[in-house]
Structure 1
Amino acid sequence: MEVHPLLGRLDKLLADEGEVVGRGPDAPPHQGISPGLRDGSAHVLRCLKVWFELPTDVFHAATANIDSFLAKMKAQPKHLSCIAVAAFHLACTQYKQEFGCSVPDPQTLVYISQSRCSASDLVRMEAILANKLSDQSIPPLPVTCLSFIRAMWEISRAASTQLSIPHALPNLPQHLLHQLEILVCDSTTMRIRPCELALALLAVEFQRISGCEKSAVSAALMGFITELQKYCAIQSNDFLRTHTMVLTILDRYNGDSGVPHRQRLVWKLSNRTLKHLRPTDKLRATLPRISEESADRNCQVRLRSSSECSLESLSDSDSSRGGPRNKGNNSDTESDIEMEEPRTWAKIVASN
């Protein structure tokens, strides 16, 4: 593949980058919504993307919708959950309009996310979001960090092929998309240009590859980063600061520290179902870790998956939470079981 057509695509993204509201050095702060609340909603959207088996484009579009809306409008914290699921549903519609995908039913989306709003509230909020983000009924997909990292990867891949570098770059690896989602979930990256954040993550990946390859390959890959930095007009000091920030966020995510964002989920179970869940001594307090990487990848730092979570044991649920409302041994009345899931990864719980 020729490099010049790919550079033309990057030129278009750079031209559209200035129209992105809510990200970049000039992004205004969110009014009424703290960074912690915003990040918690972003993590919930990431889990919803996995639950409904949607592409990563939907997640990036949803977070861009939230950030752009909160940059323009003042919102109260109690409305943030409704704004988040409405932005997610709007992102599904935006992606379907250009590429085609399944759009979750609003009622199902409200039930799974447990956002404490009704389906009609979601539809009304989605209409407000679309009206504030664009003059079209369905706004086009926004330019995001995902757009830039795809373009930069393809440029580097085409350049490595033309230079006859052995072991040319493969398709964009899945773990790089996972890392980009983690970075977007962190509000500290909102003041960074999307192209700068994408290039910093690409530099981290090329440094990892360079550690497993010969010096000639390493020099070529890092040369691509230097040329892309100049092409995107990114200052060296800004790039070094962003590169350090990316490493810090990924190290914190991959570390063993506690998960800062939790969402309390309440599952309605009948007494008949509760009988099959007991005895609770067989329940594990912590689910086994699931690697986001393929087993045959070498020289790879293990990444924590969005599906990893720690569950509170239900052994003390009757005593600590008052227990189910039983009306007899054969009663099939519903009981509320509350548990905290740090990554809101309820699909694993439901399957167990």
Structure 2
Amino acid sequence: MKVQPKHLGCVGLSCFCMAVKSIEEERNVPLATDLIRISQYRFTVSDLMRMEKIVLEKVCWKVKATTAFQFLQLYYSLLQENLPYERRNSLNFERLEAQLKACYCRIIFSKAKPPVLALSIIALEIQAQRCVELTEGVECLQKHSKINGRDLTFRQELVSKRLTEYSSNKCSTPNVQKLKWIVSGPTARQLKHSYYRVTHLPTIPEMVP
């Protein structure tokens, strides 16, 4: 959907809230007021709630759609079953997951079909690791998932280009200027005066499996 730039922050935060609510325990769901303060946006909790409703209507209230990550897990486990025990370390799932995250840092991959993107990443990694014995497995997964050969090839090319870019020195060296938070004099004075009136924000737990 097309979104006006001024609404992007509200859309992003409302999607984040819905994702947290759908997968986390209630005690781990941060308060909307805290999230708005952390993000430093000017909209209210009511604005956030209205945006959640709009997004839910756009996705037909399906907040637990199958993701590329879930397809990645499924394909990986199926391929592992076909590997001899001594070769089961050929494919590293953490590496595949990192590659998926790298792809999702580019907006173009948000339009990719989840099974196509997941299989593209696995197929490229199999080529890179030269796991010839898994080639047939990938073809079976492609057939059962009803993935068009052209779509898979096209997506593989995009993934390959993205991963090459992501691993380059240019990408791994951040632009220091972009990491600086520059505020005006009046804003700095306001922050300084309001700092002692702001209650401490609770820590958002990060559970590592």
User: For the superposition of Structure 1 and Structure 2, which TM-score range results when normalised by the shorter chain?
Assistant: 0.7 to 0.9
Query: Aligned with 1:166: secondary structure?
Result: helix
Aligned to 1:208: 128
Query: Aligned with 2:82: secondary structure?
Result: helix
1:151 partner letter = L
Cα deviations across residues 182-204 of structure 1 (Å, max 9, x unaligned)?
22332323443221111010112
Offset of residue 155 of structure 1: 0.2
1:86 partner letter = S
Instruction: State how 1:1-352 maps to structure 2 within 5 Å.
Output: 30-31=1-2, 75-96=3-24, 102-135=28-61, 139-160=62-83, 164-169=84-89, 173-210=93-130, 218-257=131-170, 309-312=174-177, 322=185, 333=193
Q: Is the 8 A contact 2:90 2:129 kept in 1?
A: no
Offset of residue 313 of structure 1: 9.9
Aligned residues: 192
C-alpha distance in structure 1 between counterparts of 2:32 and 2:42, whole Å: 13
Offset of residue 314 of structure 1: 10
The runs of 5 or more residues in structure 2 that have no matched partner are 196-209
Query: Aligned with 1:142: secondary structure?
Result: coil
C-alpha distance in structure 2 between counterparts of 1:188 and 1:314, whole Å: 24
Change (3 A) 1:87 1:313: closer
Offset of residue 102 of structure 1: 1.8
The runs of 5 or more residues in structure 1 that have no matched partner are 1-29, 32-74, 211-217, 259-303, 327-331, 336-352
Q: Is the 8 A contact 2:19 2:63 kept in 1?
A: no
RMSD of equivalent CA atoms:
3.3
C-alpha distance in structure 2 between counterparts of 1:314 and 1:205, whole Å: 32
* TM-score of the aligned structures, taking structure 2 as reference length: 0.75
| Structure with more of its chain in helix, by fraction | 2
C-alpha distance in structure 2 between counterparts of 1:234 and 1:325, whole Å: 54
C-alpha distance in structure 2 between counterparts of 1:323 and 1:171, whole Å: 54
1:250 partner letter = L
2:22 partner letter = Q
Q: Is the 8 A contact 1:150 1:172 kept in 2?
A: no
Q: Is the 8 A contact 1:92 1:101 kept in 2?
A: no
Cα deviations across residues 65-112 of structure 1 (Å, max 9, x unaligned)?
xxxxxxxxxx32211110110011011111137xx7721221221122
Offset of residue 220 of structure 1: 0.7
Q: Is the 8 A contact 2:126 2:132 kept in 1?
A: no
C-alpha distance in structure 2 between counterparts of 1:127 and 1:185, whole Å: 26
C-alpha distance in structure 2 between counterparts of 1:169 and 1:226, whole Å: 21
Q: Report the identity percentage.
A: 24
Q: Is the 8 A contact 2:121 2:159 kept in 1?
A: yes
